Structure 1
């Protein structure tokens, strides 16, 4: 490469491992959803105007945007040679200029201006006007960049474009191909499959009704698949909304979309596909199940957009989302659910929601409010009080259930229900104590399903309840 020729870089997918249009779109949904959707509706057919509108609503943190490591190394090498490094992008000029400044690149840049979308031939013409025919080297990643490579000297092709590379070589251009791409395993991480374990909550109504038939189990498993797909759909949306907050987090910065290891548009397509799977399976299970899954997804989306940043409202919403899983189990399996059960599980999940925030505050390194949340360390005692009220409410509801007609039918030895309250109380109190001390996972449900002692306490309570129901005698003859 000639030392006197500038190195010109495309931005989206080349210098950056992300796309500024999608960054500003999701940043806008996070900060000002109505304004963002309005900008999209008004400018959907005018790409340059859309980019300018989104850039003004939600400019990203340029120092946090993930760089393509291969191109970053090329930039450093070019600068060491004394070459000018210039950004040329179809992204909005306001963003491109600030990105160049953030990384110490040339003050001269080429980009869309709100009226002209600088892409393909338009970009090539602008660069030739500035540097002359074949007066620059160009790095890009898109098929549209062929019109630029043909007018550059050396072509740096990011990604797999073998036919374009062959054509450029035949035309006498030096070509360098830079491999890049994303892996399915990274997308799988974004789905958070370990979180699917929460959907065992769909089995609660089946257990409470003592209905262990094969047909019931299969219906619940189908419901679990629907909820797993729905949850993964919302996890992706949540990650896209929280790109900036995740990049500031010590561990969440490694999430696929925040780190740029999976393109945002791939995440958007995956989220849409998962939503269709979830709603399709739910519809097959009946209109009621479709309604529950749709409500879960709507409430989850509202939580991601706004509710999770509202103190106390977020805990109440988390408890509602967990409770909806129990409702879904009843709807999918078509077993009768006591109102007492729903009243019982809600305060349990309210307690666990408080435990989640207690854990985050215990593990926080500063006294500032949690990023994207409304809580700080001064709120720990109030959270502890909410957790305590949840425990009392859950245990009183369980005790009240023991006097209902359904309990009389299902549990001939009713006093064992009262004994089962002891391990349940110990388990709930232990969860709160561990959260207060910061000795558990950020997600108490995931922690609970891996905690051997806690699982032992739950199993002991269930054993007492099964014995009181006569199930052990029926199954094993004692």
Structure 2
């Protein structure tokens, strides 16, 4: 006796994402003016909205985050001679592309611009086609309960805790594929908490100005740190949402929570503005000109995510400015005037680190056999030039440091300027070391995050701070 056909839902079931959400995000990024037409399309019906948004979506079916456990089970069912049908509320252009890529489905049923094949409509279409109880159905949400009431058996995939029991009230549950866990470690990755280390740069002007005894400023900077961190997390989430396709083409970034489908896209859309709101609430307690600089950072980061990161060289210059803005914002929060020397040193150093980041990505693309970085304006053949530009910028930052150590400001801040000169070879070592690691393919993280984990970089940092401390406290002999 042959088994009844197995019907498989797409969004949240076969794939760990929702193609309607993805197409809406892509439209927001690439054609923001089209967002004004969404109410008009929705008024014509959800199927029309999906058709319109799908028309603007180009995607690689191979890179989508599939539920591999379910997919393996489906392939086994196919080998056993069972008929598999992909039935989804997504538009037929999207469903057909995915079905053709997987090559295991005998048929594809989807929304077609007239009928939104979801919930009761899907249930009625399947009942009319196969009869009541004439099919098994794999789904993931409460919307699928209408289908399970007319199915023979239920396959519950990636569902909330109470859904398997509700599905069992409709029909026999054959198998349950557990939901993806969203624990604290996942949300740390969503917020990129490890990237908050960059915001320690806010303290640099305060420390460089030798104002360490001012506890009120310490408190103000601490609040500024969390304000900047929440703002950065908001932008990181937005960047991850807009960069889904590029991240999925990357060997490591494809496991990010949104790209990998571990966290639904709609949660990112909801959380990002809330984090930004909380960031500005905290910024109100900092005072001074901190809020304008925070706003400048936010707007420039959005511009970077929206399009500047696709412009060669401009992307690295913007990254350098974003790092430097942290130092400027720290000076504003502390009520200090930022020196020309610190500003110039920061720009050149962070430009070098931005080139390190891009060079490491290009080297990874070369190893993958690609000739162009996906989502960027660079060709892999640009790697050697990027390396040259980055090393030059790094050594320029050391030159600025050397010139600063010969200025009148050093005489006022340090008891023993001669000792502070020892910082120059330390910086020369560290810049050279970072580029050496990038050249050897060891730069797997953001350069500053890499430096925090790297023993040689940490030792260089300790020696650098020790030299500045000794130059401050020791008296001339």
TM, length-normalised to structure 1: 0.88
Q: Tell me, which stretches of 5 or more residues in structure 2 are unaligned?
A: none
Report what 2:247 is aligned to.
246
The 3 A distance-change label for structure 1 pair 3 and 216 is farther
Partner of 2:202: 202
Contact kept? 1:25, 1:54, Cα under 8 Å: yes
Alpha-carbon distance between aligned partners in 2 of 1:300 and 1:234, rounded to the nearest angstrom: 7
For residue 428 of structure 1, the aligned residue among 427, 431, 438 is: 431
Which residue is equivalent to 2:289?
Answer: 288
> Which whole-Å CA distance do the structure 1 matches of 2:438 and 2:156 have between them?
51
Distance in 2 between residues matched to 1:316 and 1:99, nearest whole Å: 39
> 1:107-153 CA deviation, whole Å, 9 max, x = no partner?
53332222332221111111122222222222222222222221222
Moved more, 333-342 or 355-364: 355-364
> CA separation of 1:384/1:105 partners in 2, compared to 1, >3 Å: closer, same or farther?
closer
d(CA) in 1 for partners of 2:388, 2:62: 40
SS of 1:109's partner is: strand
Q: CA deviation at 1:414?
A: 4.2
Change in 2 beyond 3 A, CA 1:6/1:462: same
User: What displacement does 1:85 show?
Assistant: 1.2
| Structure 1 unmatched ranges of 5 or more | none
1:69 counterpart residue number: 68
SS in 2 for 1:58: coil
Q: Partner of 2:79 in structure 1?
A: 80
**CA shift digits 1:345-379 (9 cap, x unpaired):** 11111111122223333443146122322333432
Displacement of 1:400? 4.6
State the number of aligned residues: 471
| Aligned residue number for residue 179 of structure 2 | 180
- Structure 2 SS opposite 1:454: helix
**Could you say if the C-alpha distance between residues 347 and 144 of structure 1 is closer, same or farther in structure 2, counting changes exceeding 3 Å?**
same
Whole-angstrom distance in 2 between the partners of 1:222 and 1:375: 38
Which of 460, 465, 468 does residue 468 from structure 2 map onto?
Answer: 465
1:191 aligns with 2:172: no
The secondary structure found in structure 1 opposite 2:54 is helix
How far residue 406 of structure 1 moved from its aligned partner, in angstroms, is 4.3
Task: Report how far residue 455 of structure 1 moved.
Answer: 3.5
Could you tell me how far apart the structure 1 residues matched to 2:320 and 2:167 are?
59
- The structure-2 alpha-carbon separation of the partners of 1:177 and 1:162, relative to structure 1 and needing over 3 Å to count, comes to farther
Contact persistence 1:39–1:50 (CA under 8 A):
no
Structure 1 residues 316 and 166, CA gap change in structure 2 (3 angstroms): closer
Q: What is the CA-CA distance between 1:223 and the residue it aligns to?
A: 1.9
Residue 147 of structure 2 aligns with which residue? 148
Determine the C-alpha separation between the residues in 1 that align with 2:160 and 2:220.
Answer: 47
1:382 and 2:385 matched: yes
SS of 1:285 mapped into structure 2: coil
- SS, match of residue 336 in structure 2: coil
Query: Is the aligned partner of 1:221 residue 2:237?
Result: no
Aligned equivalents of 1:236, 1:464: Cα separation in 2: 39
> SS of 2:459's equivalent?
helix
**Partner residue, 1:24:** 23
Q: 1:448 aligns with which of 446, 451, 456?
A: 451
User: Aligned-pair distance for 1:78?
Assistant: 2.9
Q: 8 Å contact 2:204–2:327 — kept in the other structure? A: yes
TM-score, length-scaled by structure 2:
0.88
Looking at structure 1, the residues matched to 453 and 262 of structure 2 have their Cα atoms a distance apart, in angstroms, of 29
Q: Structure 1, residues 154-191: CA drift from partner, whole Å, max 9, x if none?
A: 223335567766566556x3234523233222232233
Does 2:401 align with 1:398?
A: yes
Distance 1:166 1:378 in 2: 56
Per-residue displacement from partner, 1:75-114 (whole Å, max 9, x unpaired)? 2243233222112221112111222222224453332222
2:353 maps to 1:349? no
Partner of 2:271: 270
1:411–1:432 CA distance, 2 compared to 1 (3 A): same
